[in-house]
């Protein structure tokens, strides 16, 4: 059975992570946490966290990648989302419930004053069958726009090659 999810990813990293999630999911509605292969995602592990949502709406970090420590202000494993500063808690809250409710990846890129927040939320099934885990991928990107789009470099090289 082939399912078409709504969100396909905006960045290369998001597309790779969604591709792995879909591959390990197979024909099930959600992959299990134990299905995720850290080796397949090794280039993204530093920016990955897993959040557990309680029945009371509390969100707790089960795992937080080493690259997130700078962004979050320290180690977050075992800590609650509401322990973060309000801006950071709002960043991590993006899409958590939506990913669980829709049972598919959700994500995007949020323009901020100094940078861009690329975020991705992928629902996972816990070992006990509960659907209360969300694998998150969060990175901050520079707001600087390249002077020329990448396709211009290709077109310029092609044009130079044709003129020679």
Angstrom distance (rounded) from CA 18 to CA 108:
13
Residues 6+ apart with CB under 8 A from 66: 45, 46
pTM of the model: 0.81
Strand 133-142 to 115-124 pairing: antiparallel
Residue 48: count other Cβ atoms within 10 Å of its Cβ: 22
| Domains of the chain and CATH, by start | 12-163 (3.30.450.20)
Residue 62, both tokens: 């089960």
Q: In Å, how far from its chain's centre is CA 12?
A: 11
Angstrom distance (rounded) from CA 112 to CA 9:
19
Residue 111, both tokens: 């323009």
Tens-digit pLDDT profile for the chain (164 aa)?
A: 334 456 667 788 989 999 999 999 999 999 999 999 999 999 999 999 999 999 888 999 999 999 999 889 899 999 999 999 998 898 889 899 999 999 999 998 888 888 888 899 999 999 999 999 999 999 988 876 544 444 445 444 444 444 44
Judge whether 110 and 117 are in contact, CB under 8 Å.
yes
**Where would I find the H helices in 26-117?**
68-72, 86-93, 96-102
Angstrom distance (rounded) from CA 51 to CA 100:
11
The closest alpha carbon to 30, from 100, 115, 118, belongs to: 100
DSSP 3-state of 108: strand
């Amino acid at each position: 059975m082939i399912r078409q999810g709504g969100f396909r990813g905006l960045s290369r990293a998001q597309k790779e992570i969604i591709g792995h999630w879909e591959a390990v999911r197979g024909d099930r509605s959600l992959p299990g946490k134990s299905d995720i292969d850290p080796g397949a995602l090794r280039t993204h592990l530093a920016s990955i966290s897993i959040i557990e949502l309680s029945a009371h709406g509390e969100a707790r970090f089960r795992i937080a990648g080493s690259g997130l420590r700078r962004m979050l202000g320290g180690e977050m494993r075992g800590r609650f989302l509401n322990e973060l500063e309000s801006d950071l808690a709002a960043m991590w809250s993006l899409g958590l419930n939506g990913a669980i409710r829709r049972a598919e990846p959700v994500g995007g890129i949020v323009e901020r004053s100094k940078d861009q927040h690329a975020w991705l939320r992928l629902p996972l099934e816990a070992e006990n069958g509960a659907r209360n885990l969300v694998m998150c991928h969060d990175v901050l990107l520079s707001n600087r726009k390249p002077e020329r789009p990448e396709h211009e470099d290709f077109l310029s090289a092609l044009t130079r090659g044709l003129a020679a």
